Amino acid sequence: MHSSKKRTLYSPSTTAKIWGIAQRALNKSSPPTLYPEYTKPGSNEYIYRDLEFWTSGFFPGSLYLLLERERKYPLAKESMGLHILQQRFACNWWTTNLHQNARLSGTHDLGFMISPWARKAWELEGDQRAYQTLITAAQTLATRYNATTRCLRSWDTCITKRYEFSDPKLDFLVIIDNMLNLDLLFWAAAELRSPQLRDIATAHAYTTRLHHIRPDSSTVHVVNFDQHTGAVKAKLTNQGYSDASCWSRGQAWAIAGFAQTYLWTRDPIFLTTARNCADYFLAHLPESGIPPWDFTCPRDERTPTDTSAAVIACHGMLLLHEAVTARSEPSIYLDGALHILTAVCEQCLSPKASFHTSQVTIPSAEPGESTEAGELEVNMGDGLETVLAGATINNYEFAPRRWATHGLVYADYYFLLCGNKLLDMGIGGEILGNGKF
């Protein structure tokens, strides 16, 4: 991976893109209740969602990842004047209204909604409210567990143009994405010394491995269980090409989710599953290094990519690399992750953003007037408001709405997360030419 390309993980443009969105809310009379999710195809601007939508935690999580760089790796964040006090205020301002989500019992996405920002708020700032929010969220999530199916319910309902599940009493839907919410349960189990929370998370992972992972290590998106017997009623897709295809973001969720589960449990069956899913992902990458939205869909030059799948998979592979090398075994996963990140940095960055500030003249007693730095402004560039382009939320033929080829908030979040993970591993410093931090 060329050094100049790798440095874009930590570029001032990346920081400016995030800050350009954040600062729009900072002078308002109350904290945000709407959160950026995606850029509408054909447009550069973010579309926002209500705070109870599952993606609400990713943008504040990105702010906390930048704060983490300032706290732990200051040489990695060329912020061009962005002060740590501004960052801390923005982190708090953007999360003030999100604590209430910890009690939402109608969603399985509490790990996504809470963990990206609250874990960092606790770890970096010692934020006691964030800590309690994490605990509450884990306890709320655990209420979705069914002892018969041995897993957490994902969706209560699901309606497409092809099928409809509208009665939770009849169907028990579980999606591969749910593997990423287990980390919240494992963390809370460790904090509370709760065997119950740990057992729920572990059981869900075993059930997912059994029913969502095919013999060739590709993934099923949705499994519908009979909640009274635990039997599988159907295996479907909601965002991939077909029920039998391999939706690339689902594959990425599996890599990261099973890698996290192994790191919590040390059960080698989860490490093997994560490795097999990663091997499938790498083996099915096109020459470009950017995954298509579905690995087994018909492809031509117009096939949508999914950069969110790319960077989520990279995060999982970095976790895998640490797990495998800790066992004194050879690993291909660092090289695999860097190969994908190279491709993302070369092909999928939106036009650069930049910080600007001017000196202002201030009347003063002596010598009559003085100068100081003026307002910090952001030029978002002539392109998407996101860091990355080329994401695909949902290109399923029968989806109520289809989105492809756009920016996506969680693609940016996982891009930043990969950068921070590389710093934590000592590789980010080498990328920047600073040696290990």
- Give the residue numbers annotated as catalytic, written as ranges: 109, 177
Residue type, 144: R
Q: Is the dihedral of CA 136, 145, 185, 34 positive or negative?
A: negative
Cα gap 320→304, rounded to integer Å: 27
Cα gap 344→6, rounded to integer Å: 10
Calculate the dihedral angle through the C-alpha atoms of 32, 38, 43, 48, rounding to the nearest 10 degrees.
-20
Tokens of residue 213, six digits: 């992972």
Phi, psi of 164, rounded to the nearest 5 degrees: -145, 125
Write out the H or E segment, with its range, that includes residue 277. helix 268-283
For residue 379, what are the β-bridge partners?
A: 354
Cα gap 250→270, rounded to integer Å: 16
Tally of CB atoms within 10 A around 217:
20
Cα gap 394→238, rounded to integer Å: 8
Phi, psi of 46, rounded to the nearest 5 degrees: -65, 145
Listed in sequence order, the residues at least 6 apart from 159 whose beta carbon sits closer than 8 Å to its beta carbon are 165, 166, 400
